[in-house]
Chains A and B, each alone.
Chain A
Amino acid sequence: AQSVTQLDSHVSVSEGTPVLLRCNYSSSYSPSLFWYVQHPNKGLQLLLKYTSAATLVKGINGFEAEFKKSETSFHLTKPSAHMSDAAEYFCVVSSGYSTLTFGKGTMLLVSP
């Protein structure tokens, strides 16, 4: 069995400040982990993925995430938020036949 917990339903930051979106997972197998972003009334866009290579993963738009097996965490970070980063973010775990388990999402709000 696998599960994902996104620790914050909403995160608010000011433009230019760092972003931290937290994700913890559980999995019976060596997991693959993903972060997706969703803008209103749109599909999900892949930000980055971890598939047992380097533990620090760089993605698009300046985002990165670090896989910490001992903490079963895969937190998403960005050094400096932009207004265009405002969206909903999903942490996702995959193990076996690529059926994905989604977290409930974190809404990122960016104020000027």
Chain B
Amino acid sequence: DGGITQSPKYLFRKEGQNVTLSCEQNLNHDAMYWYRQDPGQGLRLIYYSQIVNDFQKGDIAEGYSVSREKKESFPLTVTSAQKNPTAFYLCASIRDSGAGQPQHFGDGTRLSIL
């Protein structure tokens, strides 16, 4: 079955540490997205990528970095510059980035501070 796999499901970060969240999709989708979810806040866009080797900042990109070296992979690094990283992180993808297409979501990674 095709889908989006996020790993790990739970992740803990120490002060001053960078951590990387994995997102892999086998849907052959062109565009991929990272969202952050906080209680009562809905989802906020961190970064997105419409094609390989290209990505754009979303609304809350500060303290995060991404890469898109392969179509199926879009890892997110939470750097030490992100002072409040505790949240639920969701990765999504879409077949093409034309308007009107729903996004498919992974099951998320919950990041906490030690």
Contacts and interface: CB of A to CB of B under 8 A. Distances in A.
Interface residues of B, number: 29
A43 B106 contact: yes
Contact of A43 (B31, B42, B90, B98): B90
B25 interface: no
Contacts of B103: 98, 100
A95 interface: yes
B99 A43 contact: no
Interface of A is mostly: loop
B95 to A, nearest CB: 9
Contacts of A46: 102, 104
A98 B97 contact: yes
A42 B107 contact: yes
A26 interface: no
A46 B104 CA distance: 8
A7 interface: no
Interface in A73-112: 90, 94-100, 102-105
Contact of A94 (B43, B50, B58, B99): B99
Contacts, number: 65
A9 interface: yes
Contact of A98 (B4, B6, B44, B101): B101
Contacts of B110: 41
A16 B4 CA distance: 34
A100 B46 CA distance: 12
7 closest A-B pairs by beta carbon, nearest first, are A43-B105, A102-B42, A32-B100, A104-B42, A51-B100, A102-B43, A44-B105
Interface of A: 9, 29, 32, 34, 36, 41-46, 49, 51-52, 90, 94-100, 102-105
Interface of B: 4, 6, 31, 40-45, 48, 50, 58, 88, 90, 92, 94, 97-108, 110
